[in-house]
Structure 1
Amino acid sequence: MKAVILAGGSGTRLYPVTISVNKHFLPIYNKPMIYYPLSLVMLLGIKEVLFIVNPSDIESFKKLFGNGSHLGMNIKYTIQEKPNGLAEGLVLAEDFIGNDNICYMLGDNIFYGHDLVRIMKDAKKEIETGGGAYVFGYYVKDPERFGIVEFDEEGNVKSIEEKPKNPKSNYAVVGMYFYDNRAVEIAKNVRPSERGELEITSVNEKYLKDGKLKVKLLGRGFAWFDAGTHDSFLEAGEFVATIEKKTGLMVGCIEEIAFNNGWITKEELIKLAEPLRKTEYGKYLMELAKKP
């Protein structure tokens, strides 16, 4: 399985902050927003990652991540000329994906919760063994802002609808999707919605029609932030700060994950920490390297 992280878009919901800065570089507490989805991909053991970015931001992304070799990864980039919808990301990633299955992440979505990685690994395994699509639902107060999934009395998925005026439930489909290789061809056949975008909901609808869509609800004990609005952005930062201060452990620390995965050595970890030695982030990495 390969990972594709959509990190383009214009970030208009965060204007004027994002007029000159890509939102994915903004700090969620002590690290760039984009670290969080990348960290989950790494926790799944996926080394091959494609970032889909704006033309004006590709050099900044390369400056931040390079080719990923410092993390023991293989990172590539492709350009999305305009924000034409989430499904377009799958089309743009076609050559990178090849014959593999896909973990598709939105760069401004942040997740946290007990057993989250195990649940993601279960989704990955299910796609690898049985194909189809595996997505996640989360209860929201403002369902008209999201893709919404409806269930029948037995808990089976009944319908899925993008930003409905009259929502049939309060369960939003969050920005983390697992697909078999068919997703690329499905996305290529998606027609623009009334908003003029290629909706990821249309991809999910096709899998639902084929009886190959599974939706798992993330209930109590899970936190999800769509950090593309001012309020959610602030809430995400405060949440991460609270967790880290209470536990003494970092959330979304990509160098730590690379080290724990055995992708980089202790010496390589120290080398990454050295330029950051005056920060709490750098000190954290140095302490990690000292542990037996």
Structure 2
Amino acid sequence: MDTGALLERFHAGEVRALARAITWVESGYPEGQDLLKRLRRRGNAKLIGLTGSPGAGKSTLSDRLIEALRKRGETVAVLAVDPSSPFTGGAILGDRIRMMRHHGDPGVYIRSLASRGALGGLAGATVASLSLLEAFGFDRVLIETVGVGQSEVDIARVADTTVLILTPAAGDAVQAFKAGVMEIADLFVVNKFDLPGGERVVQELKTTLELATARPGGWKPPVLTAVAPKGEGIEALVEALDAHYAHLQERGLLEADRLERARFEVESVIQEWGRRRTHSHPRLIEQVAAGQLSPEEAAQQLLGTGSLEGVSH
């Protein structure tokens, strides 16, 4: 199928065309890049990042969010970013089973993407896929990460609103303090609030946030509670998501979000390109290991530049 035919089907609202377009982009095909140039900056989806440690209940919360948003008549897409298989490069976890009850709903689209070695975080293909979902016309896009490594920081660079999901029994709050995630989340949700220690975690979060630096535009992140399997706390979460998006609009911060997302996408492409180049030049890596070249000299050769000055900036 050529790009023109796929675009025609895409604009006609064919889900299979959307799926094919994402596959082209994720696989790095030139046709995918052509599609992105034609479709970028179309649509006005609200991008919501959901992160938290494994077992925090992200998928169940996503499932309930989908349900609540669909009742409001909104269309929803979900990008579930999974850790990559070290052997195939594909997503390990696959489409989340709990969300599959929405599979037959034409107003819901769920897709798993592999992180593809992006240092435990998001891959550039994730941001490109977001552009396609926006162009397809979804009202909301949920980006769910596995919640390890760089994913929490990455998601904050990509989403309009970042939601950190914690639980009472896993020491999540302490880990969030240590990892600095407190600084990047726009909303906090203590899920499984019916477990022992729920109220204590809420108070710890509120106390810490009172001492934290104010967010851009003076936003004060709320601490919410939920029991996702029972649907408790979901309406309050939707209201908080709307309130944060309205705050971004009123303060003119959405354009800054878009610029940061584009910067992240370019950096991700460079990272992926560098990873592939190092694998295709084993002799260069052997020279570094033997002390014949410094890592910077090897990188200069791979990049074809004379200097790396300023590259990290």
TM-score (norm: length of structure 1): 0.31
Structure with max Cα Rg: 2
Q: More strand by proportion, 1 or 2?
A: 1
TM-score (norm: length of structure 2): 0.29
